[in-house]
Structure 1
Amino acid sequence: MSQRDEIVKVIGAVMLPQLGGWVNGYLTRQEIKGWYQKLNFPSCRPPNWIFGPVWTSLYAGMGFASYLVWRDGNGFDGVARGPLILYGVQLALNWGWTPIFFKLHNLKWSLVELGALSSAVAITGFAFFNVNKVAGYLFIPYFAWCSFATWLNYKFFELNPESTATIEEIKENKKK
């Protein structure tokens, strides 16, 4: 396989998680000035501008880690199969949080989802480490950020218990 082919695979692996990030960034921007601004904020909430660069970096790291595992574990035909399936699960959970929090305005279920995501990230990181140690290490900052995000989501839930809307309330608000 040529060096050019490997570079294309690295770029593809790094770009895959970014796609969900871009979609979720769009969904988030739509809600920042409305519902989100009305929430009570925890005192240690980072400024809004930090989330884009952090997630871009984390997505790049996890994407590159997936490439390393795919490469060193012989893709879906080798030992990488299980870790890559776990990677897909955690990526789906990652992408699922934003619509639950920002579109459904459901602080409770977004917290539950983040708990599942953090667990999936930890399990995936260990599975990646068993195939490629660097890939496993690349999941440490991701796990740390997800843990912080879980705590932050909990604080939002604690400070805004009445703001968790039901699907019926959301539909009713859209009619207004």
Structure 2
Amino acid sequence: MIAICLAIGFLGSRITQMTIDTWYPTIEKPIFNPPNWVFAPVWTLLFILMGIAAGLVWNKLEENKEDVKKAMLFFIIQLLLNLLWSYLFFGLNNLLLAAIEIILLWLIIFETFMLFKRINLKAGYLLIPYLAWVGFASILTITIYILNY
């Protein structure tokens, strides 16, 4: 599960690298925008925590098949939405769609958290830093959209 999460993160970073030195420096950003070097280590840690959480839930498959399947479906959806945000923001440079999509992403992560913690409390807690970071990223994305339109 960790490898899958890191692979998604790697794909997102490849999309990001396309415009991080060209388009991204040209847009207005708020004063609370972290320096670029912060993102890679934070995302790496978050993807590792997500993978551990998913593994803990997956290990309960035989005990609770239906709940685990539902939780893993939401987990996969949020992983794909995570990747989609990188494409919308950095690939398409579409700040409005990225702002809308990241709100949906946060909601799906929250539902994943709720499902995970019912199956394995530790798995749920491992998603809290991810929820917090995407909450911050949501505010950042929306603010960047406002500053540039």
Quote how far apart the aligned CAs of 1:20 are: 1.4
Residue 66 in structure 1 maps to residue 59 in structure 2: no
Which one of the candidate residues 95, 100, 105 is aligned to 1:117?
105
**Aligned AA for 1:102?**
F
Distance 1:133 1:159 in 2: 39
SS in structure 1 opposite 2:43? helix
Quote how far apart the aligned CAs of 1:78 are: 4.5
Quote how far apart the aligned CAs of 1:55 are: 0.5
Distance 2:64 2:35 in 1: 40
What is the TM-score of this pair, normalised by structure 1? 0.81
**Aligned AA for 2:42?**
V
Residues 77-116 of structure 1: pairs in structure 2 closer than 5 A: 77-116=65-104
Quote how far apart the aligned CAs of 1:65 are: 0.4
Superposition misfits of 4+ residues, deviation over 4 angstroms: none
Alignment RMSD (CA, Å): 1.3
Equivalent residue, structure 2, for 1:150: 138
Does the aligned pair in 1 maintain the 2:88–2:94 contact within 8 Å? yes
Equivalent residue, structure 2, for 1:170: none
Does the aligned pair in 2 maintain the 1:18–1:59 contact within 8 Å? yes
Which one of the candidate residues 13, 21, 28 is aligned to 2:9?
21
Quote how far apart the aligned CAs of 1:92 are: 0.8
Does the aligned pair in 1 maintain the 2:67–2:115 contact within 8 Å? no
Quote how far apart the aligned CAs of 1:77 are: 3.7
Distance 1:30 1:97 in 2: 14
Quote how far apart the aligned CAs of 1:24 are: 1.4
Q: Which has the larger radius of gyration?
A: 1
Count of matched residue pairs: 149
Equivalent residue, structure 1, for 2:116: 128
Quote how far apart the aligned CAs of 1:76 are: 8.5
SS in structure 1 opposite 2:52? helix
Distance 1:77 1:142 in 2: 25
**Aligned AA for 1:49?**
W
What is the TM-score of this pair, normalised by structure 2? 0.96
Distance 1:76 1:18 in 2: 26
Does the aligned pair in 1 maintain the 2:6–2:44 contact within 8 Å? yes
Q: Where do 5+ consecutive residues of structure 1 fail to align?
A: 1-12, 162-176
